[in-house]
């Protein structure tokens, strides 16, 4: 353990004691800033069944609709960053689906958390972040965040935790209309409408977002709509349907040499850089639940589809040595894919199983993904005799067609035993198997190839929680979690001669320890936890992992750190919100022994000061920060680091009757900064070290009317 970590670990208990003592002194006389008074009545779904927040496991934290509304956030990614204080970074596909990094996974963060919508997985079986942009803010009741390995309940990829976005339910007749404008020619609008039926409820929602974005040759647009229908068959039975559809169109400006970050951060990579990306997705879910005395039954069936297309073209002569030919200097590609996912998750919960206050939960998860892709690239154009084949967009130069079929099935159980009014024990186990088939045809000169992979793995958990006081809970959690290599992971692995058979990736597993202490009172809410994760066969990308750039199983790694979250109304009208993550992520074996894992900032978080000016309005000042980190791909830790940053935001919230208004000024000091950088050793200087600049100073104004 480093000296810096020891100092931080010693500081957190002191902060915890001081703030809880201050809260006890001021409880009952501070009124004004909402902290946590309404949270105990919230119904949460982190256990995959309905339960009160006070009965949920202590790793579960909540972001409420009221907090979202006051933040001025326009999408889920901004909520997770500004309100929840999670470490996030730009998504390189140009969308607002930011990459969330719980517990310091760096480049592989997207595949090491599970994102859910009303308990149904929306995380992709690919190397990409879940598409939360389709979910309108107005439709969200709350967001549940679990910062602990959760593979027993949610299986593949829940190593770092889970994020469960819960939509509004049982709100009666309600309509919410929102609209706003922002810097960089941005505008957005949203609609949520709920209508109470005689035996249920029907809700409709929609969202639109358009922006020219911060950099040249960059533009984004998102349009989504959905509906949710619930029928109360009787007092014990509900059935329903949820439908989402979304459309994204993005232009990308390319990576910028890091030496230009402070001088020309708004430029495109090269003047004529042109990359268009389009995503169309649809999701249909049928769900139902029934209670028979002490037995609860539930099931979700989901089918979602997504169509991606990418088309890029730019002068790559100065970017990459492979294009240093007078008659061939443009890089271009045209690619598309269609992915269809089906899943079904029946489960049963038995209360008072065998003994009183003992709950047994058993479930089954089945998933199938089929992905078809086509790509045409500029390989084969490196000589004068072949450049003629590149004149028609690369169709004659070479291309590929592929199909991926990925199946998985898992059986799990969790037993929660309330040993006494103050003590609780949790035991859980999951066994999961998967199979994977991929076929690809590279056309003339290369022909078809294929591979098949399959394996079985497991997860387990043990947790002991104790209520030291009615408002203070401590816990110790031991768990084993896993990530299965998806077909995208296995599509780019080593294929050594003479057989050229791909060396398929092994299942990633981790042994995790989580120790935490939570305190909840009328004016203060504090969550402090320590975590340690030892990972074997971690799946990731290495620029020289097999003599060239490919996906590999890393040598063993270790992550150790703390999370600290607090809300404290320390006087009439004033409150502080703090979110902090410290993580030491490093290799513990192999040639990178002792090296830091690229893309991981040791310190990150935010600190907000809220001041209620009157019962109608509030002003907030927030600072967001992240320490420097090694660039993605720099496993040798010998290149320039991505600079750390501190950014200050300010927002003003006003409400009058059914109206509310939020004005936000982001990056108040116009800081030139970035949270995404890549080291590409095969590229030419200065393009070996590149960054994706974050927006400079920007303003947004949004209005909301509810009736």
Classify each residue of 393-408 as buried b or exposed e, where b means 16 or more C-beta atoms within 10 Å of its C-beta: ebebbbbbebbbbbbb
d(CA 171, CA 200): 11
d(CA 681, CA 688): 6
Across 58-62, 79-83, 93-97, 677-681, least confident range:
93-97
Neighbour-count burial of 211, counting CB atoms closer than 10 A to its CB (0-12 exposed, 13-18 middle, 19+ buried): buried
Across 463-477, 495-509, 621-635, 693-707, least confident range:
495-509
How high is the mean pLDDT of the chain?
87
Cis upstream peptide for 498 (omega within 30°): yes
Residue 91, pLDDT score? 81
Neighbours of 315 (CB within 10 A): 15
Across 62-76, 214-228, 661-675, least confident range:
62-76
In order of start, what are the domains of the chain with their CATH numbers? 3-371+394-706 (2.40.170.20)
pLDDT in tens, 206-222: 999 999 999 999 999 99
pLDDT in tens, 397-407: 557 788 999 99
Cα angle 690-694-700, degrees, rounded to a multiple of 5: 165
> If phi over 0 gives left and psi between -120 and 50 gives alpha, with beta otherwise, what is residue 330?
beta
Look at the alpha carbons of 484, 488, 490, 494 in this order and tell me if their dihedral is positive or negative. negative
The percentage of the chain sitting over the pLDDT mark of 90, rounded to a whole number, equals 63
pLDDT band at 41 (very low <50, low <70, confident <90, very high): low
pLDDT band at 14 (very low <50, low <70, confident <90, very high): very low
Across 347-351, 360-364, 376-380, 386-390, least confident range:
386-390
Query: Is residue 324 within 8 Å of 353, Cβ to Cβ?
Result: no
**pLDDT above 60 (res 393):** no
d(CA 683, CA 490): 24
Query: Is residue 20 within 8 Å of 468, Cβ to Cβ?
Result: no
Q: Which residue has the higher pLDDT, 13 or 511?
A: 511
Q: What are phi and psi of 173, to 5 degrees?
A: -85, 115
**Shortest CA distance to 255 belongs to which of 681, 646, 679, 698?**
679
**pLDDT above 70 (res 17):** no
Residue 145, pLDDT score? 93
pLDDT band at 445 (very low <50, low <70, confident <90, very high): low
pLDDT in tens, 111-168: 999 999 999 998 887 777 888 888 888 899 999 999 999 999 999 999 999 999 999 8
């Amino acid at each position: 353990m480093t000296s810096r970590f020891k100092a931080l670990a010693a500081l957190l208990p002191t902060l915890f004691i001081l703030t809880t003592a201050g809260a006890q002194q001021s409880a009952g006389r501070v009124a004004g800033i909402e902290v946590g008074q309404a949270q105990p009545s919230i119904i949460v779904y982190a256990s995959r069944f309905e339960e009160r927040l006070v009965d949920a496991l202590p790793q579960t934290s909540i972001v409420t609709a009221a907090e979202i509304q006051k933040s001025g956030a326009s999408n889920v990614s901004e909520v997770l960053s500004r309100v929840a204080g999670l470490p996030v970074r730009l998504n390189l596909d140009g969308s607002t689906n930011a990459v969330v990094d719980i517990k310091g996974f760096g480049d592989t963060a997207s595949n090491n958390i599970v994102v859910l919508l009303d308990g149904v997985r929306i995380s992709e079986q690919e190397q990409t972040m879940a598409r939360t942009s389709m979910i309108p803010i107005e439709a969200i009741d709350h967001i549940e965040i679990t910062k602990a390995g959760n593979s027993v309940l949610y299986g593949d990829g829940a190593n770092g935790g889970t994020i469960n976005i819960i939509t509004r339910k049982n709100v009666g007749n309600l309509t919410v209309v929102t609209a706003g404008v922002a810097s960089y020619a941005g505008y957005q609008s949203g609609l949520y409408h709920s209508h109470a039926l005689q035996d249920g409820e029907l809700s409709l929602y929609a969202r639109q977002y358009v922006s020219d974005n911060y950099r040249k040759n960059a533009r984004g647009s998102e349009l989504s709509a959905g509906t949710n229908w619930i029928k109360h068959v009787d007092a014990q039975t509900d059935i329903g349907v949820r439908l989402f559809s979304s459309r994204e169109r993005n232009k990308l400006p390319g990576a910028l040499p890091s030496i230009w970050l402070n001088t020309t951060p708004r430029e495109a990579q090269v003047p004529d850089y042109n990359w268009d990306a389009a995503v169309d997705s649809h999701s249909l879910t049928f769900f139902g639940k029934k209670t028979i005395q002490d037995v609860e039954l539930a099931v979700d069936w989901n089918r979602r589809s997504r169509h991606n297309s990418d088309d890029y073209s730019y002068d790559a002569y100065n970017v990459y040595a492979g294009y240093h030919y007078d008659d061939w200097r443009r890089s271009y590609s045209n690619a598309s894919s269609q992915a269809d996912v089906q899943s079904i998750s029946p489960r049963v919960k038995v209360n008072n199983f065998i003994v009183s206050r003992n709950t047994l939960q058993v479930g089954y998860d089945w998933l199938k993904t089929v992905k078809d892709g086509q790509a045409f690239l500029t390989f084969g154009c490196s000589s004068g005799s072949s450049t003629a084949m590149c004149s028609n967009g690369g169709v004659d130069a070479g291309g590929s067609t592929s199909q991926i079929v990925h199946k998985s099935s898992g059986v799990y159980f969790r037993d929660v035993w309330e040993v006494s009014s103050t003590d609780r024990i949790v035991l859980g186990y999951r066994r999961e198997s998967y199979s994977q088939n991929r076929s690809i045809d590279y056309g003339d000169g290369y022909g078809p190839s294929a591979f098949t992979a399959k394996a079985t793995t497991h997860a387990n958990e043990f947790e002991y929680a104790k209520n030291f006081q009615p408002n203070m809970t401590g816990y110790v959690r031991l768990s084993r979690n896993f990530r299965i290599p998806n077909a995208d992971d296995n599509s780019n692995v080593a294929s050594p001669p003479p057989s050229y058979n791909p060396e398929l990736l092994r299942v990633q597993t981790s042994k995790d320890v989580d120790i935490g202490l939570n305190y909840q009172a009328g004016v203060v809410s504090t969550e402090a936890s320590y975590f340690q994760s030892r990972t074997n066969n971690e799946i990731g990308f290495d620029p020289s992992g097999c003599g060239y750039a490919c996906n590999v199983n890393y040598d063993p790694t270790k992550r150790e750190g703390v999370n600290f979250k607090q809300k404290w109304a320390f006087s009439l009208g004033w409150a502080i919100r703090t979110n902090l993550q410290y993580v030491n992520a490093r290799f513990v074996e192999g040639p990178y022994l002792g090296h830091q894992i690229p893309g991981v900032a040791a310190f990150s978080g935010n600190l907000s000061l809220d001041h209620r000016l009157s019962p109608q309005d509030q002003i907030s000042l927030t600072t967001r920060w992240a320490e420097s980190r090694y660039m993605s791909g720099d496993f040798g830790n010998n290149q320039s680091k991505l600079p750390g940053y501190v950014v200050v935001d300010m927002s003003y919230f006003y409400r009058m009757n059914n109206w509310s208004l939020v004005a936000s000024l982001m990056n108040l000091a116009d800081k030139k900064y970035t949270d995404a950088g890549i080291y590409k050793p095969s590229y030419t200087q200065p393009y070996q070290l590149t960054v994706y600049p974050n927006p400079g100073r920007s303003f947004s104004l949004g209005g909301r009317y509810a009736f």
